[in-house]
């Protein structure tokens, strides 16, 4: 499959944050699969090495960098490096953020989760991404459809959806902005929870009878990034198998 199959400009650049595992890793693989040049960013060097080797082994084009999205200087340096090598990025998968188990106060958690997303977008727009630019940010059903603890986590996820709508309204002439809201996704760090009574109940009560995997979310992201979604702007798309219908 090449970029033109999805309507992408061949060789256009996609930045994927949190690319070392889970949704980010799957998104990096799928973006490369359709012919985009991928800049994979994460704080996990080992995970980046693995996804880089996998993409390259499949004939894709990828570069990777250790980037902390909570560090504005690191964001700027990473964008500058990509621009020097390939020119401005056309697409952004805004995925990295703090985990719900991270021990932040309410102010810290909301500030880091939403502030990092806004900082990434601001730097992306500053480069002038050009025609067909698109951003997909990763929120959660915990923000707009369900509740969860600690309180900063659903608050921040709801704010990501709000940021997406605000930018879609304000900057839509320059770039499309959408977000996905996954439910629980099967990743290595979720293994113990998946094997718990609560985790098994979650899968059993889902209308599709299973947890999501990274690809389930990555394919939705790829659609929203692509020209197939050229008139989709400001949307929060649940990717939950219908879980919120039965909660």
Q: Active-site residue 153, yes or no?
A: yes
**All residues at 6 or more sequence positions from 196 whose CB lies less than 8 Å from its CB, including other chains:** none
State the catalytic residue, choosing from 104, 145, 153, 231.
153
Distance between CA 77 and CA 51 in Å, rounded? Answer: 21
∠ CA(193), CA(198), CA(199), 5° rounding?
45
Helix or strand run (H / E) with residue 190 = none
Which of 151, 135, 134 lies closest to 143, judged by CA?
Answer: 151
Report yes or no: 107 and 114 within 8 Å, Cβ to Cβ. no
Distance between CA 6 and CA 69 in Å, rounded? Answer: 29
Residues taking part in catalysis = 153
């Amino acid at each position: 499959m090449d970029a033109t199959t999805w309507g992408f400009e061949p060789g256009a650049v996609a930045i994927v944050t949190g690319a070392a595992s889970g949704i980010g890793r799957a998104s990096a693989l799928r973006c490369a699969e359709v012919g985009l040049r991928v800049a994979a960013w994460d704080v996990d060097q080992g995970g980046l090495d693995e996804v880089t080797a996998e993409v390259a082994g499949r004939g894709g084009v990828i570069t990777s960098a250790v980037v902390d999205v909570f560090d504005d200087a690191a964001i700027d340096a990473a964008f500058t490096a990509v621009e020097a090598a390939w020119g401005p990025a056309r697409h952004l998968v805004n995925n990295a953020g703090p985990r719900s188990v991270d021990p932040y106060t309410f102010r810290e958690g909301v500030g880091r989760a939403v502030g990092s997303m806004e900082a990434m977008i601001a730097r992306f727009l500053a480069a002038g991404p050009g025609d067909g630019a698109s951003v997909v940010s990763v929120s959660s059903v915990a923000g707009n459809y369900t509740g969860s603890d600690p309180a900063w986590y659903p608050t921040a996820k709801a704010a990501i959806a709000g940021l997406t709508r605000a930018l879609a309204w304000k900057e839509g002439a320059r770039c499309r902005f959408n977000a996905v809201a996954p439910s629980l996704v099967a990743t290595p760090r979720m293994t113990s929870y998946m094997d718990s009574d609560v985790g098994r109940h979650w899968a059993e009560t889902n209308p599709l009878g299973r947890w999501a995997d990274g690809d389930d979310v990555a394919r939705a992201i790829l659609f929203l990034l692509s020209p197939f979604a050229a008139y989709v702007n400001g949307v929060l798309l649940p990717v939950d198998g219908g879980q919120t219908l039965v909660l």
